[in-house]
Amino acid sequence: MEAGDDVERSEGARAGWETVSSGQVRYCRESSAMLQPPRQRVPWWLRAYLLVGAVQGLAIGLTGLIRPAHVVGFPLNTTPLNTRFVAAFYLAGAAGLIASAAARRAVDTRIFLVGFIAVTALLLAATIWYWSTYTDGGVPYPWVTSYVAEPIIGVAILVGLRLWRAESPGLHRMSPVYAAEAAVFSVIGLVLVAAPHAAVRIWPWALTAVLARTYAAIFLAFALGAALAAGERRPQAVRAFAVSSLTLVAVTAAVSLAHHAKFEGGPSTWVWAGALAAGLAGFAVAGIASLRPASETA
C-alpha cells in the first residue's frame, strides 16, 4: 500500500508540475504578446492622416521644384536653390508617407509616423522662433494650423495603436547604412540648430540663419527615422524610410547639378558631392534590401 501511495503521489506531482509548466509557458507567451505592437491592419483614418501629409508634401515639393518663385505652401522667401532644396525634403517626405499609407500592417507605419510627428513639431518650433520672418507676408494659416494639429494627432495615433516599440528589434544587414545616416544627419542638424551663423559660413551655398534652423528640423527628423530603421529587422517596417531616403538624395543630387554654378567651391562642395554619391549607392542597396520577403529575416 505504501509503494502504491508513493507512485500515485509521484504521478500526481508530475501532472501538477506539467500543469504549472504549461501555465507558465502560456503566461510568458501572453505577457510577451502584450508587450508587442498589435498585428493589426492599417486603419483607414491612419491612411488618411498619412495621405493628407503626403498631399501637403507634394504641393510644396512639386511646385517648389518646378516653379520655385511660385512655391505653394512654403512661407519663406528665398533663392531658387534653397527653395528646391526644401522641395527635395518635402518630396522625400511625401514618398515616405505614401509608402507608409500603402503598408498592410499598422506597425509598418511606425518609423515614418514618428518621423512625421518629429518634423512637424520641430518646424512649428522654428516657425515660432522666427515668427516675424515666417509671417513677413502675412500669417501662413495653413502652415501653422497643420503643424499645430499634425503632431498632436500623430502622438494620439502612436499611443492609441501602441506603435512606440519595434515588433522585431535588432540589427540587420542594412543597419550600418541607417546608422551612418542617423549620425551624419544628427551632426548636421545639431550644428544648424546650435550654431546657425557658423553653419552659414561653411555651407556649400548661400544660406541664412532662419533657413539653417528650418533645415535643422528636417535633418533631425530624418536622423530619428534612420536611428529607428537601424534597429528594426523587418524589411516591411523600413521600406517606406528607405524609399524616402533614396528620394531625398536623388532629388538633392539633381538640384545640386542644376544649380552647380551657385556652389562656392572648396572642401564643403567636395564633401557635399561625396556624401550624395555615397548616399545614392547606400540607399539604393537599402531600398533593394527592403523589398525582401519577411521570411528571409531572422
- Return the pLDDT at 100: 97
Which is nearest to 229 in space by CA: 91, 108, 94, 93?
108
Over the chain, what is the mean pLDDT?
A: 89
Q: How many whole angstroms separate alpha carbon 203 and alpha carbon 196? A: 10
Give exposure, 246-269, as e/b (b: 16+ Cβ within 10 Å): bbbbbbbbebbeebeeebeeeeee
Task: Find the mean pLDDT for residues 171-188.
Answer: 97
Q: Is 234 exposed, middle or buried (0-12, 13-18, 19+ CB in 10 A)?
A: buried
Contacts of 214 (CB under 8 A, 6+ apart): 76, 86, 123, 126
Please report the pLDDT score of residue 123 as a whole number: 97
The Cα 110–Cα 159 span in angstroms is 11
Is 4 a domain residue? no
Per the CB < 8 A criterion, the answer to whether 127 and 73 are in contact is no
**What is the span of the domain harbouring residue 178?**
40-296
Encode pLDDT of 194-205 as tens digits. Answer: 999 999 999 999
Number of domains comprising the chain: 1
Domain for residue 12, yes or no?
no
pLDDT 10s digits, 227-274: 999 999 999 999 999 999 999 999 999 999 999 999 988 899 999 999
**Averaging pLDDT over each range in 34-38, 39-43, 122-126, which range is the top one?**
122-126
Shortest CA distance to 149 belongs to which of 23, 53, 45, 284? 53
**Is residue 276 domain-resident?**
yes
For residue range 188-227, what is the model confidence (pLDDT) as tens digits?
999 999 999 999 999 999 999 999 999 999 999 999 999 9
What is the pLDDT at residue 85? 97
27 part of a folded domain: no
289 occurs within a structural domain = yes
- pLDDT confidence tier of residue 293, bands split at 50, 70 and 90: confident
Q: Is residue 100 in a domain?
A: yes
Check if the beta carbon of residue 112 is closer than 8 Å to that of residue 244: yes
At residue 186, the pLDDT reads 98
Q: What is the pLDDT of residue 212?
A: 97
pLDDT tens-digit readout, 84-95 = 999 999 999 999
- Per-residue pLDDT averaged across 62-73, rounded? 96
3 state SS of 169? strand
Res. 114: pLDDT tops 70: yes
Look at residue 24 and tell me if it is in a domain.
no
Residue 30 counted as domain residue: no
What is the pLDDT at residue 294? 60
pLDDT in tens, 9-32: 455 544 444 444 444 444 444 444
Could you tell me what percent of the chain has a pLDDT over 70?
Answer: 86
